[in-house]
């Protein structure tokens, strides 16, 4: 026979079904939409439309977080550049004495304070050629930056949040002619909304600053006294001491310049696309004594020109300083312009800049002038016959 406690172990008592009063107070706490039960229900909040825009609305648009600055471009595929081919026509025929004197006379005739005697009577004693090379690197870039923008609202379609906004580098643009500077401003699609004008508080007008809203100003003729300098009645203000404000036409208010009287503003993200040709030059060794800044003013004879997406440095050029400058500048441009810009094209070229140093004597004095560039520009820094009022440039 089983003892009572043994029977209880074999057959445990059934657990009674919970009655209405045995429910936990927060049993519905995990049911979506019913937390907590036992309260009035507020109406559902509708999804934000074009007008329900937070102050920092652009921070939530993918690709425009923290809008206000440059956007790094996507990493492009880099084709293999072709090695350059430099032409071998590097020589320029030297000037003759007759040509040098002709250019010298033309230069002197262009200066009203210069006497013609040194150019006409001088004796040319020496002519030396100091042809030099000039290397130019151009890197054509496209950069894109965004900023919050606003303008008077004129009924434009409000498309904020109606579709995902394209990212800055996904917006199609037409590239201008290569190596020409250009700029465009584009309203980013699906970022437009409107808001009350914060300047005029949606009134469309603001207080006139000239008259401080009074519509009248102190008469300048009588300085507000109503009488002129002779103590006679002032006719300008009819003795009132005040005249109508011309800035607001005596209204005391002016059209709000921010919203142009529309009372509301269209807000959006502005995409600024800038194409820029970034140019650096380097002039090779020059022993003539003519400063480099003068060489930058003139045109040389083009002996090499090459444009590609990516350029090789010029190696093995007869003037080693040109090869070194090419390698250095290409590295600098790649580092400097690939961070916030997309490099669209590069171009480099080499010019031969002819320089002839001419030594001449006049009245027992020795002087020099230079003929340089393919258009034969002349410089004489110590021309011997000038009037006292003339400063030599």
Pick the most confident of 1-5, 43-47, 50-54, 252-256. 252-256
pLDDT at 33: 40
Tokens of 128: 């030396």
Higher-scoring residue by pLDDT: 360, 5: 360
Q: How many domains does the chain have?
A: 1
Residue 15, pLDDT above cutoff 60: no
Has residue 6 been placed in a domain?
A: no
Residues 212, 254 contacting (CB under 8 angstroms): no
- E strands within 197-263? 205-207, 216-218, 242-244, 253-255
Has residue 264 been placed in a domain?
A: no
Has residue 388 been placed in a domain?
A: no
Has residue 347 been placed in a domain?
A: yes
Q: Residue 346: in which H helix or E strand, if any?
A: strand 341-353
pLDDT band at 294 (very low <50, low <70, confident <90, very high): confident
Residue 225, pLDDT above cutoff 70: yes
Has residue 240 been placed in a domain?
A: no
pLDDT at 289: 86
Tokens of 281: 């030059």
pLDDT band at 43 (very low <50, low <70, confident <90, very high): very low
- Give per-residue pLDDT as tens, 46-100: 333 333 344 466 777 887 876 677 888 887 655 555 555 555 556 678 899 999 9
**Average pLDDT across the chain, whole number:** 82
Residue-number span of the structural domain to which 342 is assigned = 97-138+275-379
- Distance, in Å, from the CA atom of 320 to the CA atom of 284, rounded to the nearest integer, reads 9
Higher-scoring residue by pLDDT: 48, 211: 211
- Give per-residue pLDDT as tens, 307-347: 999 898 988 888 899 999 999 999 999 999 998 899 999 99
Nearest C-alpha neighbor of 283 from the set 152, 133, 161, 391: 133
279: left (phi over 0), alpha (psi -120 to 50) or beta: beta
- Distance, in Å, from the CA atom of 343 to the CA atom of 140, rounded to the nearest integer, reads 6
pLDDT at 83: 58
* Cβ burial 51-63 (10 Å sphere, 16+ → b, else e): eebeeebbeebeb
Has residue 30 been placed in a domain?
A: no
Has residue 149 been placed in a domain?
A: no
Residues 170, 190 contacting (CB under 8 angstroms): no
Residues 362, 126 contacting (CB under 8 angstroms): no
Has residue 325 been placed in a domain?
A: yes
């Amino acid at each position: 026979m089983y003892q009572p406690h043994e029977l209880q172990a074999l057959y445990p008592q059934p657990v009674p079904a919970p009655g209405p009063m045995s429910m936990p107070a927060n049993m519905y706490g995990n049911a979506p939409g019913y937390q907590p039960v036992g309260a009035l229900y507020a109406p559902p909040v509708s999804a934000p439309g074009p007008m329900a825009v937070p102050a920092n609305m652009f921070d939530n648009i993918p690709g425009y977080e923290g809008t206000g600055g440059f956007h790094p471009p996507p990493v492009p595929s880099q084709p293999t550049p072709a090695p350059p081919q430099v032409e071998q026509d590097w020589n320029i025929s030297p000037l003759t004495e007759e040509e040098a004197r002709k250019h010298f006379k033309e230069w002197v005739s262009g200066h009203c304070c210069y006497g013609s005697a040194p150019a006409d009577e001088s004796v040319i004693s020496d002519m030396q050629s100091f042809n030099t090379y000039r290397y130019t690197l151009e890197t054509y870039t496209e950069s894109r930056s965004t900023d919050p923008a606003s303008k008077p609202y004129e009924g434009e379609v409000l498309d904020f949040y109606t579709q995902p906004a394209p990212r800055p580098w996904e917006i199609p643009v037409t590239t201008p002619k290569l190596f020409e500077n250009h700029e465009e401003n584009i309203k980013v699609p699906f970022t437009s909304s409107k808001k009350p004008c914060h300047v005029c508080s949606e009134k469309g007008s603001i207080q006139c600053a000239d008259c401080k809203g009074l519509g009248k100003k102190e008469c300048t003729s009588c300085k507000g006294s109503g009488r002129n300098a002779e103590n006679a009645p002032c006719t300008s203000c009819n003795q009132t001491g005040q005249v109508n404000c011309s800035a607001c036409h005596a209204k005391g208010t002016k059209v709000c310049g921010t919203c142009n009287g529309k009372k509301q503003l269209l807000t959006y993200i502005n995409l600024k696309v800038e194409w820029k040709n970034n140019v650096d030059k380097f002039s090779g060794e020059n022993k003539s004594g003519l400063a480099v800044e003068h060489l930058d003013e003139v045109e040389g004879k083009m002996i090499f020109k090459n444009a590609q997406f990516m350029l090789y440095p010029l190696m093995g050029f007869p003037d080693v300083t040109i090869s070194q400058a090419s390698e250095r500048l290409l590295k600098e441009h790649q580092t400097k312009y690939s961070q916030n810009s997309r490099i669209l094209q590069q171009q480099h070229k080499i010019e031969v800049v002819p320089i002839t140093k001419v030594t001449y004597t006049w009245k027992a004095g020795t002087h020099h002038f230079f003929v340089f560039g393919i258009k034969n520009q002349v410089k004489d820094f110590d021309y011997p016959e000038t009037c006292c009022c003339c400063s030599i440039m």
